[in-house]
Each structure stands twice: as C-alpha cells, then as structure tokens.
Amino acid sequence: QVQLVESGGGLVQAGTSLRLSCAASEPTFSTYPMGWFRQAPGKEREFVAAISGGGGNTRYADSVKGRFTISRDSAKNTVYLQMNSLKPEDTAVYYCAAKAVWDTIVLVTTSYAMDYWGKGTLVTVSS
C-alpha cells in the first residue's frame, strides 16, 4: 500500500518557522509531481505549494509566496515545506499529495488531480 506520511507540525508563535516533511513509502514517488495543501477549520482545502518530479519547477499560493519553500530529496523519497514568518492565518492541517505520473517537469496545483494523500499534520500558529 502506497503511503505518504507527514510530520513536523506543531504549535508555534507568529513569526517563527517550521519545516514539514512528507515521506513516501516507495521510490517511485521520487519522480512524481507533489504538492502541499492545507485545510483550516471551517474552510475548504486549498493549494499551498507544488514541486515537479525533477524538483526544478515550483509554484506557490500567493498567500505563502516569499515565506514558504517546497523542496524534495529524491534519495530519501521525501518532500519538505519550509515555512518561515508564520502567521495565525497559516493555522491548518497540512497535507502532502502526489500525482502518479512519471514526469519531471509538470506541476500539479489542484487537489482533485492528486492520486495519493497523507493523513495530514496540524500546524497551529498563535498570535
């Protein structure tokens, strides 16, 4: 069973940083486009960041651009989300997701297009 497991969430103060990790259970994920999404209480799931299978292309939601950085370590089958200058409005459950396609260039930014999802990790930012 293919799995994505997120970690690194927690309770932090505004202005600080966190790094989320998403570990994939199989090496095939090293070439899949992947992304981070989040869902705040009472809101719909929204796109945060995406990275191509080769790691050379990235895209961010306007709300996190300049503060968050997505990256991947293919040797470790892991995708990261470095979150700096956190704000209370960043509070949400963060999910990583993967699109099952062997493509080193394409970015996937829509949740309905993703094939695999982790269970999420909670990030709470206090003011």
Q: What is the pLDDT of residue 1?
A: 67
Candidates 33, 40, 100; CA nearest to 70 is: 33
Q: Give me the percent of the chain exceeding a pLDDT of 90.
A: 90
Q: Express each pLDDT in 26-59 by its tens digit.
A: 888 888 999 999 999 999 999 999 999 999 999 9
For residue 30, give every residue at least 6 positions away whose Cβ sits within 8 Å of its Cβ, in sequence order, or none.
Answer: 24, 53, 72, 74, 75, 77
Q: Convert the pLDDT of each residue in 76-108 to its tens digit.
A: 999 999 999 999 999 999 999 999 998 888 999
The rounded mean pLDDT for the chain is: 95
Helices (H) and strands (E) in the chain, counts: 0, 11
d(CA 127, CA 124): 10
The answer to whether the Cα torsion of 84, 109, 92, 43 is positive or negative is positive
